[in-house]
Amino acid sequence: MKEYQWITWWSGGLLITVLILIWGGYFNKKEAPSHQFHPVQLDLGLQVKETRGVTQFQWGIVNGGKEQTKLIFGSGQRTKLTVTDPNGNIVYRWPTPSSKDKGESILLLKPGDHLRWSAEWEPSLKSRAVKAGKYTVTVEVLLAEVNGQSVEKGLLRKQKSWTFQ
């Protein structure tokens, strides 16, 4: 008989503890912390078009979220592009080292706004011949922070392959 009373008392204590937690708002989802995280949706797009031996690259990001996003770039260089040949050798870079801007830059991107870049690769201007084959372009947006949060290097990176004629 005493065993039965102890089980009743223990389970009753557990019930009271759970009721206190619920009554105190522990499980009440309406009382979530005031520092809620608002997700940011930055979409990176890339297009490659080749015409008569000249390859055009267009890429950019769009704020697909519902709120303005503050972008901080660690330097004046906001993006980079590299083209590699079928053997993985870099055959083209954009921007060139001399065209990089210095200093941090800040940009506010409203919902639906775009940030776009373009580059053109004309291999015939190089002294080294470029052979036909499968090439890969890699673009990366060089963000340091988004809305005050550090961004992992390479987070906004995209690759695309195409056959150079």
pLDDT at 123: 86
- Better pLDDT: 130 or 6: 130
Structure tokens at 58: 């267009």
> In angstroms, rounded to a whole number, what is the distance separating the alpha carbons of residues 28 and 44?
38
- What are residue 131's phi and psi, to 5 degrees? -90, 155
Q: What is the pTM of this model?
A: 0.71
Residues 6+ apart with CB under 8 A from 30: none
pLDDT in tens, 129-155: 788 899 999 999 999 999 999 988 888
